[in-house]
Amino acid sequence: MERRVALVTGGARGIGRGIGLALAERRWNVAFCYRTSLADAAATAAAIEERGGAALAVQCDIADPVAAEALVRQVEATWGRIDALVHGAGPYHRVGLLKETVEGWREMFDTNLHPVFHLTKAVVPGMKERRWGRILAFSMANADQGTAQPMVTAHYIAKQGVLTLVRSFAKVLAPHGVTVNAISPGFIASGSAPAAELAEMVKNIPMGYVGEVSDAVGVAVWLLSDEARYVTGANVHLSGGWGI
């Protein structure tokens, strides 16, 4: 049986890296992109291959739609297919709404929302042809509530947009055997936030502890599997009760 192929954006570190390693253990080939973390990318590629998968690390700025399209075509040229697309990249910055710059505002949409549209459209033709595909995006645990977020406003709006894109793509791709789902993490010890900040937030988490990368990986791997074939348009809260 031909190996399945995953493309994971932001796959050199954190949750994206964890998903790539888990898929490698299931004998998937894993391509991932990164922007600047060359050393992390090399280490992740080696770890994927140690776990039984083939690895392809590509430096790419997915905020550029032309580069995003080229990334998809490179993976398809290498392995002939993309069976799963994981939108793992999602940087953010904290800045007061009245101090946000035009450049900072645009960056949050260019890195969190627009690539979900561009990359998904690029992988869809092959998935439709094979009548099998898995697309997974990441939002945030309280994005579906539409609450005020004066310190991360653009990022928050972009993550709300991700949920709308997920549901919209899910509806139009369901007849073709392609599922599209979202995971909405709360506070996860993935390396993207300082440990002191996570420790301070524990008191706000009903389960009483910060999640691990493995918590996100477990949900992601299931959503990418054959077992989740009838799940599409879902938004899985992964927050220990925070944000609901």
List residues with catalytic annotation.
Answer: 156
R_g of the chain, CA atoms, integer Å: 17
Cα gap 58→31, rounded to integer Å: 8
Rounded distance, CA 134 to CA 235, Å? Answer: 14
Q: What share of the chain is helix, strand, coil (3-state, %, to 5)?
A: 50, 15, 35
Find out whether 166 and 182 touch, Cβ atoms under 8 Å: yes
| Partners of 134 in beta bridges | 84, 179
| Cβ(118)–Cβ(65) below 8 Å | yes
* Residues 21 and 47: beta-carbon distance below 8 Å: yes
The closest alpha carbon to 82, from 15, 32, 22, belongs to 32
- ∠ at Cα 77 (9, 63), nearest 5°? 30
